Structure 1
Amino acid sequence: MTENPPSSTRRSNVSRQELVELVRSQLEALLQQENFQGAKALLVPVQPVDIAQAIEDLPKAMQAIAFRLLSKQEAIEVYEYLDSSVQQSLIAELRHQEVFDIIDKMSPDDRARLFDELPAKVVRRLLEQLSPDEREATALLLGYKEGTAGRIMTTEYLSVKEGLTISQAIERVRVFASAAETIYYLYVTDRERRLTGTLSFRDLVIAQPEQRLGEIMTCDVVFVHTDTDQEEVARVIQHYDLVAVPVVDTEQRLVGIVTVDDVLDVLEQETTEDIYTLGGLEAGGDRYFQTNILTAARKRVVWLFVLLIANTGTATVISSQEDVLKQVVALAAFIPLLIDAGGNVGAQSSTVVIRGLNLKEVGIKKALQIVTRETITGALLGVMLGVAVIIWAYFLEGSLPIAITVGMSLVAITIIAAFSGSGLPFLFGSLGLDPALMSAPFITTAVDVLGVFVYLMIARVILQI
């Protein structure tokens, strides 16, 4: 007995992720039973983006089979939502004509992203099969530098001449709307295709039919250039609450638009890269958990080696102060506590500063103000933590001098950590280096080496060794 597709009632009682998992499990069961008609019926009421996720989670051998169950139009929509690794796998599995039909109907920006992941030989073959217009649009996007507005824009937009009347513009929308990525905005250009204004579809509908577009359009246009960084494009769309932003070339000619759905993909990609970088991992385009073990290890080993070598400085400091530790062995027990606490404070300071730099909330001009603020914050944190540590150390060792040594050292270490954590991102940023990538290992090294050194120096003074 085959399983039935999830009903609309059941859907209302589950989350989107649970629905996708339900569809995937039922789809896999139906394919195992070779009940292709039932599998096809299962996918009919499901959104393309959810179908894509369900197919991605299937065993690799079943992905092409499930994809072939989709209608031609649905297959085109679903294909654009698939992960690039699955897209490449399907290209190898599907017949040439099936691949061509899908690739030719994809939006130019999604097609360009796919071609970025494919071997050059395959890209050349697919480009040759595209219609002249689609080939030109794709080649245009591939000609721009990766990570720029030109690379992520789509050339499927609606533009109108400023001399048209409202009724003429509406007629143009009727004719060309199906080929546009979005019709929420219309972009007004002059005879040389230079961007002169925009108007929303709402403005178009409520205007009088005989009015000219030039009379009602917004002349103060928010736009980006083809070489604008994709993160900056995302910030522009977020700041101005836009559904799409026009892209112009060096001569102010309209060449495309970047839509909010593309920006969401960019934000996810950039955020993932930042998180990997902060963790000391090599950022990559592939999903981490889909990579093999050797690749995963390679992505993580580089900075671990750097930290391993850097931490030999801590061992050197401890070795040089061996006489202190020999006389008061109890001091050694608190070294991990001190450097770990300092590392945590440094990580907090660097995180807020790096995030502020990424969001453009702070800049190099505010470096002194931010570093001073974080250093004072570190001192306050050190005092609060130091009091607790003095009490705890006295409880453990029964020696007030040792307890005071540990407490005072913690105050000094948190100040060093906060100063390093907030100052190093600005330093590396000013040198043109990635603050997220460079800061973590240097902060760890500074806190470990200086922290242990300061701790043992304070011990010499207080304990009179």
Structure 2
Amino acid sequence: MRVDIDMDRVRTLIQSRDLSTLSLLVRQMSPAEIVASIESATSEDAAVIFRLLDKDVAVVVFDDLDTVAQADLINRLGHAPLTDVFANLDPDEQARLLDELPAKVAKRLLASFDGDELDATMELLGYPQGSVGRQMSSVAVHARPDARVGEVLGRVNRHPGDIDQLTVIPVISHDRIVLGTIDTIELMRHPSDAMVIDLMDDDPQMAGTEDNAERISRRLLDSGLLMVPVVDRERRLVGVLPITDAARIDKEAVAEDHARAGASEPLRRPYLATPVRVVARSRIVWLFVLAISAVLTVQVLEMFEATLTQLTALALFIPLVTGIGGNTGSQAATTVTRAMALGDIRIRDVVRVAFKEVRTGLTLGLLLAIAAFVLGSPFYGMDIGLVIALTLFLNCPIAATVGGVVPLVARYFRVDPAVFSTPFISTFCDASGLLVYFTVAITLLGL
């Protein structure tokens, strides 16, 4: 029988220290419901709930939790009570959890095991951050080209718990070179004495261990494939990336992109379960940066205070100038940051990116300038219309070029480009846009 999760009641029982009633409530929950309750609870409440679980249930629940929730539990409870459940994780899950833990906690947890117990996990940790090798799963079943269908299906049936990795079977040679793949459903459609070599796809898509995990995951999701073999430089099979892992990687990447596009660090737990101090800390740093750097915009306005006094109509268009400049820069930064995450652009491409954004900005500026002149001249006169048009034509390529180059500069200095770019570009484009605007106005209007 399914029990609805009443988190308000759970919190009340924890606050009142009525752990006996809470224990009875938790025992009525399925593992999936316990996972949902832990992931939606605060770190403190999650630790209390997990403490009440039987050992067998705790192993299942811990395995199903997301990596952030697992790390929170270890930080709260210490590594000793969770050594057994950690040992039951797959190597790729252990690697992700160790990445999430503070270095000291991770070292203490690793010290609880003998050196050879975590060989597979340590091998994954040896691959670069963000690479496919860091995220891949171990190979549950592979096939030889001279094997028969019945033999391969027999191996599949012996691994019922690895269903997400068994939708597609890698076909390898004796020295583990990937020769092809074969769909499990395809195997079931043929007699048991059919040969694998006659049924396999001999030109499969594959991923390298050092390929960008986000880019490969997106390619896997777009292609409709259920799994790709992961190979080393000699095309030897070292793991697989199933679609379930690809979907998780893509979801995490999208969440981070959305958070950082707003100059905020992404939250690592559900919003309602995240303490206010953590939410505030994720936002305050860049708000301070924006506040301090906004002084530059004020200084520009102060420089041209006399110009504004002589022709107050210029003030009406300040939001238009700064808004279009800021958005043009932000659009370029978002495009370039995304391309960097997918591995399409590298730091050495900075000149090509700048040249491309100059041309894009000129195109945008020309179109906006024509629209501004046509729409603005009848109401404010041709002189003001010309000032606005020329300002937009000059400002758009500046903003687009800065927006395209700044993420690459941030990456060069090892700063997260997604977080750094937005506040810097917003401030720079405001100041540069106003500088261009008033310079054009003074030149054309003779102020």
TM-score of the superposition, structure 2-length normalised?
0.79
SS at match of 1:246: strand
Q: Please list every run of 5 or more consecutive structure 2 residues that lacks an aligned counterpart in the other structure.
A: none
Greater relative CO (CA pairs within 8 A, separation 6+): 2
Superposition pairs for residues 377-392 of structure 1, below 5 Å? Answer: 377-385=364-372
Question: Which of 401, 420, 426 is the equivalent residue of 1:423?
Answer: 401
- Which residue of 1 is the match for residue 85 of structure 2? 102
**Offset at 1:112?**
0.9
Task: Output the CA distance in 2 between the equivalents of 1:297 and 1:149.
Answer: 31
SS at match of 1:207: coil
- CA distance 1:383–1:285, change in 2 (3 Å): same
**Offset at 1:346?**
4.1
Question: Which of 175, 190, 194 is the equivalent residue of 2:173?
Answer: 190
**Offset at 1:426?**
4.4
- CA distance 1:422–1:328, change in 2 (3 Å): closer
Cα contact 2:212–2:343 (8 A) shared by 1: no
**Offset at 1:381?**
3.5
- Which residue of 1 is the match for residue 45 of structure 2? 62
- CA distance 1:130–1:163, change in 2 (3 Å): farther
> Which one is further off, 23-32 or 214-223?
23-32
Query: Could you tell me which amino acid in structure 2 is paired with residue 305 of structure 1?
Result: V
SS at match of 1:257: strand
Q: Please list every run of 5 or more consecutive structure 1 residues that lacks an aligned counterpart in the other structure.
A: 7-18, 395-399
SS at match of 1:155: coil
Write the deviation string for residues 111-146 of structure 1: whole angstroms up to 9, x where unpaired: 111112234454345445558875122121112222
Task: Output the CA distance in 2 between the equivalents of 1:180 and 1:366.
Answer: 43
- CA distance 1:302–1:69, change in 2 (3 Å): closer
**Offset at 1:221?**
1.9
- Which residue of 1 is the match for residue 161 of structure 2? 178
Is 1:338 equivalent to 2:324 in the alignment?
Answer: no
Task: Output the CA distance in 2 between the equivalents of 1:61 and 1:446.
Answer: 42
- Which residue of 2 is the match for residue 411 of structure 1? 389
- Which residue of 2 is the match for residue 453 of structure 1? 435
- Which residue of 1 is the match for residue 25 of structure 2? 39
Task: Output the CA distance in 2 between the equivalents of 1:458 and 1:29.
Answer: 65
Q: Determine what percentage of the aligned residue pairs are the same residue.
A: 28
- CA distance 1:406–1:454, change in 2 (3 Å): farther
- CA distance 1:410–1:269, change in 2 (3 Å): farther
Task: Output the CA distance in 1 between the equivalents of 2:438 and 2:160.
Answer: 73
Cα contact 2:215–2:342 (8 A) shared by 1: no
**Offset at 1:198?**
1.0
- Which residue of 1 is the match for residue 204 of structure 2? 221
Give the root-mean-square deviation of aligned CA atoms: 3.9
Write the deviation string for residues 386-428 of structure 1: whole angstroms up to 9, x where unpaired: 555556xx5xxxxx45xx4543333233334432344345445
Write the deviation string for residues 183-224 of structure 1: whole angstroms up to 9, x where unpaired: 111111111122222111111111221122222111112111
> Which one is further off, 422-431 or 57-66?
422-431
Task: Output the CA distance in 2 between the equivalents of 1:90 and 1:161.
Answer: 42
Cα contact 1:280–1:300 (8 A) shared by 2: no
- Which residue of 2 is the match for residue 9 of structure 1? none
Task: Output the CA distance in 1 between the equivalents of 2:236 and 2:113.
Answer: 25
> Which one is further off, 114-123 or 186-195?
114-123
Task: Output the CA distance in 1 between the equivalents of 2:227 and 2:57.
Answer: 24
Cα contact 1:375–1:419 (8 A) shared by 2: yes
Cα contact 1:345–1:418 (8 A) shared by 2: yes
Query: Could you tell me which amino acid in structure 1 is paired with residue 397 of structure 2?
Result: F
Superposition pairs for residues 150-161 of structure 1, below 5 Å? Answer: 150-161=133-144
Superposition pairs for residues 18-29 of structure 1, below 5 Å? Answer: 22-29=5-12
- Which residue of 1 is the match for residue 215 of structure 2? 232
- Which residue of 2 is the match for residue 301 of structure 1? 285
TM-score of the superposition, structure 1-length normalised?
0.77
SS at match of 1:159: coil
Superposition pairs for residues 123-162 of structure 1, below 5 Å? Answer: 123-127=106-110, 129-130=112-113, 135-162=118-145
**Offset at 1:315?**
4.7
Task: Output the CA distance in 2 between the equivalents of 1:182 and 1:171.
Answer: 15
Task: Output the CA distance in 1 between the equivalents of 2:398 and 2:56.
Answer: 56
Task: Output the CA distance in 1 between the equivalents of 2:236 and 2:335.
Answer: 39
Question: Which of 129, 141, 148 is the equivalent residue of 1:165?
Answer: 148
